[in-house]
Structures are given as C-alpha cells and as structure tokens.
C-alpha cells in the first residue's frame, strides 16, 4: 500500500489538496473582511459640533446669499437675493431684543418687526421704516405698560392719526390730526 500504482493520480491528488487549502484560506479572508465591514458599519461616529464666528453661504457664481454670524452682544442671519443685496435680516442683541427687517434692493428697510425690552412693534414705510418718522409710515406698537395701537405718519413724519389704547389709562381712542399736529377729530 505504500506504493501508488499511478503517479499521475498522486500528482492530481496533491494539486487538488493544494487548491482546496487555497480556497479555504481565501474564503476565510473574505469572511473576515465582510465581518470587518459589517462591524465598521455598525459603529456611529460621535456627534460633532462646528464652531465659528460667521458662516457664509455663496451660490455657484460666488455671490454671497446668506450669512449667519455672532459677536459679543448680538447674533444675526442675513439673506440676500441673486444680486447679492440683502433682503431679510433677523437679529437678536442683548438689551435691544429681536429684529426682523425686510430690505429693498436699494438697502432701505421697508418693514421692521421689533420685539424689545420696552415694546413690540411693526413698522412699515415705502421709504424707510427705521429711526424716527421722516417719511410716510404705519406703526403698530404695544408697550410693556399695556398701551398701544396704530399710528399713521405723513411724508414729513407728522403723526396724522392714532387708533388704539394709546392713552395713559389704557382707554381706547381715535385721533385724527392736521398737518400741524392739531387734533381735527377725536373719539371718545
């Protein structure tokens, strides 16, 4: 039994055994690789925080379309149209409250929503809604002490009408004024 009658048969058997060993080793390596990929896919990366003083978003042509920024006393979000001019500004500042400003293509604030420490208001103007009235404007304002209402201003900034609980005792009234600021009609 020590001798094999066919040497070709012995050679074929040895090649078959070598091939079988290579196949087993290759299968084991492939199985270990798949197991590693599966285990890596199960592990989630830790949550990350991105910190910056300002984030700038540009469109494909490089025009700034949005800015989100912060300073020591305020934070703001600015959105711009395709020409790069600001359309909307939302900001909040310590001591000043929150603002939402609608801006036209010339950079003038046409609408302003304000929530401050003393008042909540909506200011609308075809010229400029910020600062003291210097142009036609409509204002809706409620002060913390409870008074508030609508005020209508002419192009010179003169109050022309007041409607609401604007008296100190909180009672309602309506006042229409002339160009000099003198009441021409009042109720009650």
Residue-wise pLDDT tens digits, 146-163: 778 888 888 888 888 888
Query: Strand pairing of 137-143 and 119-124?
Result: antiparallel
Q: What percent of the chain has pLDDT over 70?
A: 90
Residue 1: exposure state from Cβ atoms within 10 A (0-12, 13-18, ≥19): exposed
Average pLDDT value over all residues in the chain: 82
Mean pLDDT of 107-135: 81
Cβ contact 166:148 at 8 Å: yes
Among 21-30, 50-59, 126-135, the least confident range = 126-135
Average pLDDT over residues 16-30: 86
User: How many whole angstroms separate alpha carbon 186 and alpha carbon 176?
Assistant: 6
Distance CA 67, CA 77 (A): 6
**Structural domain spans, the chain:** 1-48, 108-187
Q: Which pLDDT belongs to residue 166?
A: 62
CA atoms within 13 A on the CB side of 87: 9
User: Following DSSP, what letter does each residue of the chain receive, concatenated?
Assistant: --S-S-HHHHHHHHHHHHHHHHHHHHHHHHHHHHHHHHHHHHSPPPP-----SEEEEE-TTS-EEEEEEE-SSEEEEEEE-TTS-EEEEEEEETTTEEEEEEE-TTS-EEEEEEE-SSEEEEEE-SS--SSS--SSEEEEEEETTS-EEEEEE-TTS-EEEEEEE-STT---EEEEE-TTS-EEEEE-
pLDDT value for 1: 47
Q: How far, in Å, CA of 123 to CA of 139, rounded?
A: 5
Cβ neighbour number for residue 30 with a 10 Å cutoff:
10
Q: Give yes or no for residue 74 having a pLDDT over 60.
A: yes
């Amino acid at each position: 039994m020590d001798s094999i009658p066919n040497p070709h048969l012995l050679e074929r058997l040895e090649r078959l055994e070598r091939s079988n060993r290579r196949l087993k080793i290759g299968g084991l390596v492939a199985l270990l690789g798949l197991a590693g990929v599966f285990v890596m896919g199960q592990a989630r990366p830790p949550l990350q925080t991105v910190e910056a003083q300002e984030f700038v978003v540009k469109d494909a042509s490089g025009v700034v379309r949005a800015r989100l920024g912060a300073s020591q006393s305020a934070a703001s979000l600015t959105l711009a149209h395709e020409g790069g001019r600001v359309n909307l500004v939302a900001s909040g500042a310590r001591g000043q409250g929150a603002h939402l400003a609608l801006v036209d293509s010339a950079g003038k604030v046409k609408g302003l929503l304000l929530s401050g420490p003393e008042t909540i208001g909506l200011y609308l103007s075809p010229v400029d809604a910020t600062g003291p009235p210097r142009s036609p404007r409509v204002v809706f304002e409620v002060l913390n002490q409870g008074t508030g209402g609508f005020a209508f201003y002419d192009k010179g900034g003169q109050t022309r009408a007041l409607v609401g609980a604007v008296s100190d005792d909180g009672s309602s009234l309506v006042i229409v004024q002339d160009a000099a600021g003198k009441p021409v009609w009042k109720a009650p």
